[in-house]
Amino acid sequence: MNDGVIGIIIGVICAVLGYTIRFVVGNYKAETSENRAKEILKDAKRNQKSLQKESEVHAKAEVLKAKEEFELSIKVKRDEMKALEERIGQREINLDRKVTMLDKKESTLDRKLDEIDEKDAKLEQEREELEEATKQAIQKLQVISGMTRDEARASLMKQLEEEVHNEAGGLIRRMQEHAKETAERQSQKIVATAIQKYSSSHATELMTSTVALPNDDMKGRIIGREGRNIRSLEAVTGVNILIDDTPEAVVISGFDPIRREIARQALEALISDGRIHPARIEEVVAKAEENMEETIRTAGEEAEYQTGVQGVEPELTRMLGRLKFRTSFTQNVLQHSIEVSQLLGVMAGELGLDVSLAKRIGLFHDIGKALDHEVEGGHAVIGADLLKRLNEAPVTVNAVAAHHEEVEAESVYAILASAADAISCSRLGARSETTNIYIKRLEQLEALANDFDGVQKSYAIHAGREVRVIVNPENMDDNKAQVLARDISGKIESDLQYPGQIRVVVIRETRSVEYAR
């Protein structure tokens, strides 16, 4: 029991001690917290005062800064206002000066207006005096001449009309003569230019073709047993095969160039193949006829390329190709058409016309000759109908139809086409009937130049439109060469007859030769 009481007492004592200790510790902590709070409050007050002072200092600084900026802006504004006042003052001065000048000008203008009014009044007075004097003069003239004013006017007008009529007639006559002379000179210049710019080496077409043979034994094979091969060849091609004593050659004769060309190609193929009999002849001729269509088309395209004509219908191209195997007075018609196209283009260029259109007209001008053996009528009208059917331009159709004056020309192209056609047809060497004369003329031209002293050789070129004379450089200097050219040209003018003009070129060449040994 005592132990239990003792334990209780000890427990009570411990409890009292623990409470006492907690009480003491709590009071101590409370005092410590209060002291700390007081310290914090003091620090806060000190910080508040410090911040307040800093704020006051910052606010004073801001106020000073704002004050300075305000004073600065006020100063700038004052300067601007001062400058503006100065400009306004200067403008007022200028305005006053201008107003003064305007006042002076206005006074001057008023003075000039017054002077003009005075002059107008004076002129009006003079006009009235002139009219009165004129009336008096007319009255005196009427009294003197015994005619009224209307009668005098009519008489004067009649006299003036007669004088003007006479002068106008003379003027018209002089203008016509001048226009005629100018037109003739200009046309001669254009034709000469066209002839000089275009020179064709093509002369004439013969009515025969020659086929070379490898040997004379081939002639017997061509004739065949009892002439069956040659009869078969002539029957199939429609030409004449002439076999004579000419060595290693056979002549094909026929009026139709296409047939003649087919026969030539077939004969050359037979000779190359070596098999010559009637069946083979028919086979080779049939193949040559097929190839002829391609040849015709190629010839037409080549003509279009040479003349620069584009956009041609295939049928027209084929018709152009057929002209390659057509002749007119032994002149190849396709070559003639190309020549006319080039000449027509040159003349159109000289006159400022459409060169492409002119060349097209020249190329197609004889297209009717490809059909004239199939259709009745002249080749110009036939060609025009063909072109019209193939939608060629009306100016082209009319120029083709009118180039032989079968229809009326509607444009200058038709006139030029006729002129170019005549130039090509009459060109020396173009047709067989003038070939001999052409050759003789060239020989005379060279012989005439060779007769002069110092001339070594002379050559007529460009279809006789130029002669080149080569002289001995040792016996002739440059001045003598110039004199020689003039003497030769004068001799040509006096002794020869020729169309256009002939250019004389004297060539003096000096050669220095040495040998290295």
- pLDDT tens-digit map of 111-136: 888 888 888 888 888 888 888 888 87
Least confident of 98-107, 152-161, 286-295, 455-464: 152-161
Residue 169: the pLDDT is 56
The yes-or-no verdict on residue 146 having pLDDT over 70 is no
Q: What is the CATH class of 208-426?
A: mainly alpha
Residue 57: the pLDDT is 84
Residue 203: the pLDDT is 40
Residue 182: the pLDDT is 64
The yes-or-no verdict on residue 499 having pLDDT over 70 is no
Cα dist from 15 to 5, 9, 23, 231, whole Å: 15, 10, 12, 169
Least confident of 262-266, 308-312, 509-513: 509-513
DSSP 469: E
Rounded Cα distance between 196 and 157, Å, is 56
Residue 42: the pLDDT is 80
Residue 438: the pLDDT is 65
Rounded Cα distance between 19 and 25, Å, is 10
Are 351 and 420 contacting, i.e. CB atoms less than 8 angstroms apart? Answer: no
Helices 314-322 and 333-350: crossing angle in degrees, nearest 10, is: 120
Residue 163: the pLDDT is 66
Residue 202: the pLDDT is 46
Residue 201: the pLDDT is 47
Q: Residue 208 — pLDDT band, cuts 50, 70, 90?
A: low
The yes-or-no verdict on residue 199 having pLDDT over 60 is no
Name the one residue in this structure whose structure tokens are 């219908």.
313
pTM: 0.45
Residue 142: the pLDDT is 67
Find all residues with CB under 8 Å of 404, minimum gap 6, and list them: 378, 380, 418, 421
* Mean pLDDT within 91-106: 88
Pick the CATH number of 433-508 from 3.20.20.70, 3.40.50.300, 3.10.690.10, 3.30.300.30: 3.30.300.30
* Mean pLDDT within 339-367: 85
Helix (H) or strand (E) holding 467: strand 466-471
Q: Residue 219 — pLDDT band, cuts 50, 70, 90?
A: confident
Name which residue leads in pLDDT, 329 or 406: 406
Name which residue leads in pLDDT, 351 or 434: 351
* Cα torsion angle, 266, 296, 415, 438, sign: negative
Residue 374: the pLDDT is 66
Average pLDDT, the chain: 79
Q: Residue 437 — pLDDT band, cuts 50, 70, 90?
A: low
Find all residues with CB under 8 Å of 246, minimum gap 6, and list them: none
pLDDT digits (tens, 9 = 90+) for 358-407: 888 888 888 888 876 666 778 888 888 888 888 888 888 898 888 887 88
The yes-or-no verdict on residue 195 having pLDDT over 70 is no
The yes-or-no verdict on residue 507 having pLDDT over 50 is yes
The yes-or-no verdict on residue 154 having pLDDT over 80 is no
Name which residue leads in pLDDT, 379 or 195: 379
Name which residue leads in pLDDT, 504 or 156: 504
The yes-or-no verdict on residue 60 having pLDDT over 60 is yes
% of residues, the chain, pLDDT over 70: 80
Rounded Cα distance between 268 and 210, Å, is 10
Beta bridge partners, 328, equal 331
Q: Is 223 exposed, middle or buried (0-12, 13-18, 19+ CB in 10 A)?
A: middle
In terms of phi and psi (left: phi > 0; alpha: psi -120 to 50; beta: otherwise), the region of 56 is: alpha
Name which residue leads in pLDDT, 204 or 306: 306
